[in-house]
Structures are given as structure tokens and as C-alpha cells.
Structure 1
């Protein structure tokens, strides 16, 4: 066999061996479902900071019974409600004027448990750092004449935030738990109502 013919035969043999030693492809009729896609993370909406009030304007000496520690308090523009933020403890709202009178919110319970285990009329709605909002019987406020928080302004301080809106009323939130309340004389919900970013 001539040399050129032998070289051509060897080259053809090498090409056929190389073609047979490539990656193996297996095709079957079995179908395997792809693993389920991971659920998207829950959508979290952070409260707006577009309309923050100056918290220093609402800092007041706290009750003597609590050692006079600073609290943050405000009265609503109507003068009907007063709220107090006790830093890193709770925010509570009740009727303005410093008296422990019935809360006066439609749908509020007629009675709540007092500190001694008896029943009494609720005087406030509150939320602490981690628990659900609740109605409670609190003593009369010792904070006299706190400044007015204007409509659509947010008082955010010491782990809590509150606002007052004409359409929804007073709303407060624990920033740690995300639990809060919104109320007016006409009713309440156990959810915070944020001030819209485009509010005046």
C-alpha cells in the first residue's frame, strides 16, 4: 500500500476514534419535574419618613411615679385625644385633658381587666414593643398640655411612631414588632396607617 494511502487510512481511523470518544449523550423518555422555585421573600414596606416632626418638640418630663424620665407626648389637632410614647416601652392614647375617662371609641370593649384582676372601663388604647394592640385602663396622664401634632406629620422616636390624619384618625406603631393601631371616635383597627408620601 503506498505511503500516502496508508497515511490517509490512519488519519481516517484517528478521526473516527476521536468522534467516538466525545461526551456521552443519553436521551430517555423519562421526565423529571424541576425542583419548585423558592418562594419570593415577603414584601415588607417600611414606614415613610417623608413627613417627620421634630421629636425634641414633643419631649416632656415624665410622671414622678416613673422617676421623671422623658416621655414624648402630643395632642391631636381637634384637642380630643392625647398620646404618650414611653421610650422603648409603649405608646398609649386616650382622651385629652389628663383624666382617666372612658375611651369613647365605637367598638371598644366595655370592660378590660384592671391591675388587680377585676373589671373596669378602658381609658386607653396602647401597643407595647412586641405584643398586640389592646385596650387598657391606665391612670390619668400626668403630662399636662402636650403640643399639637399637626395632620400628616409623623412623630417617630424611641422605637415607636404616631401620626394624625383627617381621614383615618390617630395611628401608632411599634417599630420593633410592626404591630399598631388606628382609631377615631367612629372605630379602630389593629393596623398602622402610614402617612402617604404625597400628603401635604
Structure 2
């Protein structure tokens, strides 16, 4: 009996036992997306390194100055109102309440994506990041397992490079999908 394994970039794996079969072959599994986030517009991550709760993290503010985002290495990327505000985010369609750190319901102060798991709104304590630098439009801050960007048309977007899950938001709304900077962006 001859067994042949063949792998190619497209099409199903072929196994030929040279024995007749009465069953039709199973359909090929659906192809998963292999689109990887772009590295065409990377910012220098060292310019955004800053102390975050006693460790080195990465932080930035948006060009409008309204939002601040923090990457806690290999833990999470989160964004909230600049200045450490504990007030509501002001994002259309955001939940009005989320579980707080003490287990009681609280007003969400950030949107975040962890290393694994789905993006979520959370009531986070204000980070002690003072005056983080601005991340310009169409630049990507990739550091410690996460990447974030700011685009004029879509807003702020962050992604866990481990899970591939992320979020995009602006004052007009949010989605649980990462929006990459187009390769031809200025």
C-alpha cells in the first residue's frame, strides 16, 4: 500500500491509499485569513516608553488630546479619556455600567483588550502616566505584544498580537475589530 502526503499553499491534503472508496471526499476546510497587521507606519516604541504603575509601559495621547492609551507589556492595551478622568467615556453605544474592581457596578472608564480574550469596557483606576507623547495620525505603536494606532477617519484601534483580537472606537461608536493603517496612508 502506498501512502502519499502532499502539502501545498492551496487545496486540501491528498492521501492516496489506492483503495476504492464509496464515499465522496470531504470538502476542504475554509481558509482562515492570513492577513497580518502592517508594519509600514511603525512609530519608534522607545519614544513612548514610560513608567506605568512601577514598570515600563508605553503610553500616548491622540492628536486631539482627548484620549490616552496605555500598553501594559504582555498584559493589556487600554484607552480612556486623557488626564486620568474617571468620568464616563462618552462613546456612543458603550455600556453604562460594567463590573468595577470591587465587584460593584461602575461607569466604564476605558476600553481594553487583554493578551487573550475579547475586547471589553472596564472601570480601570487612572494610570499614573504624566503627559505621554502624541501618537500622530496613521502611525502604529507596536510594543510588548500589542499594537495601537490613531486614524482620522476611524479613530483609535488596538490589537493583541497573541490573540488577534482588538477594538476600534471613536466618540461615534466602537467595534470589536482592529482597523489597520492602510499601507498607502500618508
Which TM-score band (shorter chain)?
Answer: 0.7 to 0.9
Structure 1: gaps of 5 or more residues: 1-30
What is residue 113 of structure 1 aligned with on the other side?
A: 99
Deviation at residue 97 of structure 1 after TM alignment: 0.9
The two structures have a TM-score, normalised by structure 1, of 0.79
**Larger helix fraction of residues:** 1
Distance in 2, Cα, partners of 1:178 & 1:76: 23
Measure the CA separation in 2 of the matches of 1:89 and 1:58: 17
What is the aligned partner in structure 1 of residue 49 from structure 2?
59
Conserved 8 A contact 1:60-1:70: yes
Q: CA RMSD in A?
A: 1.4
Once the two structures are superposed, the pairs formed by residues 23-62 of structure 1 within 5 Å of their partners are: 35-39=25-29, 41-62=31-52
Residue 35 of structure 1 and its aligned partner are, at CA, apart by 2.3
User: 1:129 and 2:120 equivalent?
Assistant: no
Q: Partner of 2:111: helix, strand, or coil?
A: strand
CA distance in 1, matches of 2:27, 2:85: 57
In terms of fraction of residues, the more strand-rich structure is 2
- Larger Rg, first or second structure (1 or 2): 1
What SS class does the counterpart of residue 167 from structure 2 fall into?
A: strand
Contact 1:100–1:141, Cα closer than 8 Å, also in 2:
no
**Correspondence for 1:165:** 151
Q: Which residue matches 1:4?
A: none
Alignment partner, residue 84 of structure 2: 98
Q: Which runs of 4+ in 1 moved over 2 A?
A: 31-41
Given the alignment of the two structures, is residue 146 of structure 1 paired with residue 136 of structure 2, yes or no?
Answer: no
Alpha-carbon offset, residue 115 of structure 1: 1.9
Which residue number corresponds to residue 192 of structure 1?
178
Aligned residue in 1 for 2:141: 155
Aligned pairs (5 A) from 1:77-92: 77-92=63-78
In structure 2, runs of 5+ residues without a counterpart are: 1-20
- Residues 149-184 of structure 1, C-alpha deviations (whole Å, 9 max, x = no match): 000000001000000000000000000000000000
TM-score normalised by length of structure 2: 0.85
Deviations 1:68-91 (A, max 9, x none): 110100000000000000000001
Mapped to 2, the partners of 1:51 and 1:196 lie a distance apart of: 9
After superposition, the C-alpha distances for 1:28-48 in whole angstroms (9 at most, x for unaligned) are xxx967524533532221000
User: What is the match of residue 58 of structure 2?
Assistant: 72
